[in-house]
């Protein structure tokens, strides 16, 4: 009976170790890989998407301005450009807000990358090693009954890892030494140990699913595409072509509007 209990405890410990590795990979993607992918996407493609959106709005505005002016002229009404502009501001408010949001996302991605610390290969390995240790020691999924102090240390460690702050992780490693040494439920036996094993295995499945979903979603899903030079060229070329098309459309409607207004 004792051997069975020991075996179950070993299985619990192994499952928790696998969960820790899954959590480490989730954190690595969320805090390290995804911000880099977002910044790379912003500098390679995102800025062109923002430019395209800007000119799409400009073309839409020019087309609608001309339509309003033409309708007024057909009705024999007074040409009121200020009135048109006010109406266009209202009609295109959602589009302008979308552009502002896209530009803000671009700036945030660039700022995160600019503010991250550059580490040597050896320092990067130490950063990952310390983060792995702190996850095993402090992660709330592995220590649901942790103290408020331990939770605060973990949150600081997450921020430090995100910004590549090796010195801070070193300090937290020293400050939290001894925390989380005995995982919750380590002294369980018999049916209680079996129930704990089922819970831990279920948790492992949930965390594993979270990791797979993270890998299938953007920005991580864009990682391989950004490493494909041909894909980047195709994407940027297509965006540049669309930008020129929208510019041409905006100019054409502006010219029609100016003619209608008697400026030409």
User: Could you read off the pLDDT of 148-158 as tens digits, one per residue?
Assistant: 999 999 999 99
Q: Tell me: pLDDT of 31 over 50.
A: yes
Q: By mean pLDDT, which of 6-10, 84-88, 105-109, 174-178 is the weakest? A: 6-10
Compute the Cα dihedral for 123, 124, 127, 128 and give only its sign.
negative
Mean pLDDT of the chain: 88
Could you tell me if residue 183 is inside a domain?
Answer: no
Q: Tell me: pLDDT of 30 over 80.
A: yes
Most confident of the ranges 12-16, 38-42, 70-74, 210-214: 210-214
Show the domain range for 230: 2-138+145-178+188-260
Compute the average pLDDT of residues 153-165.
90
What is residue 119's three-state secondary structure?
coil
Could you tell me if residue 106 is inside a domain?
Answer: yes
pLDDT of the residue at 182: 58
Say how many domains are in the chain: 1
Rounded-to-integer distance, Cα 195 and Cα 208, Å: 20
In which band, very low, low, confident or very high, does the pLDDT at 263 lie, cut at 50, 70 and 90? low
**Cβ atoms of residues 79 and 261 within 8 Å:** yes
Could you tell me if residue 203 is inside a domain?
Answer: yes
Could you tell me if residue 238 is inside a domain?
Answer: yes
**Cβ atoms of residues 57 and 95 within 8 Å:** yes
């Amino acid at each position: 009976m004792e051997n069975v209990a020991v075996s179950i405890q070993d299985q619990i410990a192994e499952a928790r170790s696998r969960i820790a590795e899954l959590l480490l990979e989730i954190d690595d993607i969320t805090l390290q890989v995804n911000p880099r992918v977002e910044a790379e996407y912003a500098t390679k493609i995102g800025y062109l998407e923002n430019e395209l959106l800007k000119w799409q709005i400009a073309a839409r505005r020019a087309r609608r301005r001309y339509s309003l002016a033409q309708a007024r002229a057909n009705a024999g009404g007074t040409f009121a450009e200020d009135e048109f502009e006010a109406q266009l501001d209202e009609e295109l408010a959602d589009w302008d807000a979308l552009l502002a949001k896209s530009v803000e996302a671009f700036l945030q991605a660039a700022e995160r990358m600019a503010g991250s610390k550059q580490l040597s290969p050896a320092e990067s390995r130490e950063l990952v090693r310390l983060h792995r240790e702190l996850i095993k020691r402090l992660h709330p999924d592995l220590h649901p009954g942790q103290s408020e102090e331990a939770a605060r240390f973990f949150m600081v460690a997450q921020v430090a890892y995100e910004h590549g702050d090796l010195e801070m992780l070193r300090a937290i490693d020293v400050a939290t030494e001894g925390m989380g040494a005995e995982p919750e439920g380590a002294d369980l036996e018999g049916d209680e140990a079996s129930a704990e094993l089922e819970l831990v295995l279920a948790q492992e499945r949930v965390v594993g699913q979270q990791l797979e979903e993270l890998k299938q979603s953007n920005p991580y899903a864009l990682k391989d595409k950004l490493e494909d030079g041909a894909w980047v060229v195709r994407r940027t070329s297509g965006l540049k072509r669309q930008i020129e098309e929208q510019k041409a459309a905006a100019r054409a409607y502006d010219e029609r509007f100016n003619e209608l207004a008697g400026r030409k």
